[in-house]
Amino acid sequence: MSIESRWIEGQPLSMLNGILPVTTLNSWMARKGSDRVAIDHFEIYPSDTEDLTQPISLSVRPIRYKDQLSHLIVAEILQLDPVATPVELACEMSGDGASLEIELPQMRYSERLLEGMMQATGQFAVAFNEEAETIFWSPAARLITGIDQSDISDMKKFTRKIFATHKEQNVFRAWIDGSPDERSQELIIKTASGKRRARWYASEIDLDGEGSVGVLWATLDSSVKPKSPGRREPVSG
């Protein structure tokens, strides 16, 4: 959206008026018990609220961030396709019929965050726990590679199956063992349609003080398949 985070960090949600239904979101998040309730793929149209300029599908997950109740908001622009894929949800309407709420099992906030991110993202994404076991493998990553999560059950198998050469695998290991959250890394990966350049990013998510997980995601180069690795950012330092 060409909005830099520094423009909106510390600002009220109303800064995103026209992009998100801020009045509806503020109402939902102000409710008692909003730390236990998630909203999943709720469609909102400009005719429903003055806060929107285009229809969106909205998902909200409560999370705990810096010891404060927060909410992860995932908004996807709706493509008005007359043949929509039905989504089966266990749901209930609020008393005024204004919102769709879904009671989730008792899960940690950050578990909901991860589950929501992996299910909602259209990006190539994967998450590992502290034992280097694969705990999430996004639908987009599975589609791009043709590989199921069971085939990359840990970091070692992931590295061997995803990266195209031993050289790429070694660069990836060096990057992971360094400070991957401080920089990105360009590597060539295997996909169902051949080798592709991918720019990798990493971050660590704390599970409410009960361990952490590492999340990796990639943006793929859509140009012609490369014959040799591209220029990389340095792994050291």
Contact by Cβ (8 Å): 135, 110: no
What six digits make up the tokens of 157? 């198998």
**Mean pLDDT computed over 126-153:** 89
Q: pTM of the prediction?
A: 0.49
Rounded Cα–Cα distance for residues 117 and 72 (Å): 9
**Considering the chain, what is the average pLDDT of its residues?**
74
Question: Which residues does 139 contact at the CB level (< 8 Å), separation at least 6?
Answer: 119
* The pLDDT of residue 154 is above 90: yes
* The pLDDT of residue 197 is above 80: yes
Instruction: Give per-residue pLDDT as tens, 71-82.
Output: 888 888 776 544
Rounded Cα–Cα distance for residues 141 and 127 (Å): 12
Beta strand 212-220 with 100-103: parallel, antiparallel or unpaired? unpaired
Task: Name beta bridge partners: 212.
Answer: 206
Task: Name beta bridge partners: 195.
Answer: 190
Cα angle for residues 171, 174, 178 (degrees, 5° grid):
140
* The pLDDT of residue 156 is above 90: yes
In this structure, is the dihedral angle defined by the CA atoms of residues 22, 23, 26 and 32, taken in order, positive or negative?
negative
More confident residue, 59 or 111: 59
Task: Name beta bridge partners: 119.
Answer: none
- Domains of the chain (ranges; CATH) run 5-105 (no CATH), 121-220 (3.30.450.20)
Rounded Cα–Cα distance for residues 87 and 204 (Å): 31
Rounded Cα–Cα distance for residues 122 and 69 (Å): 26
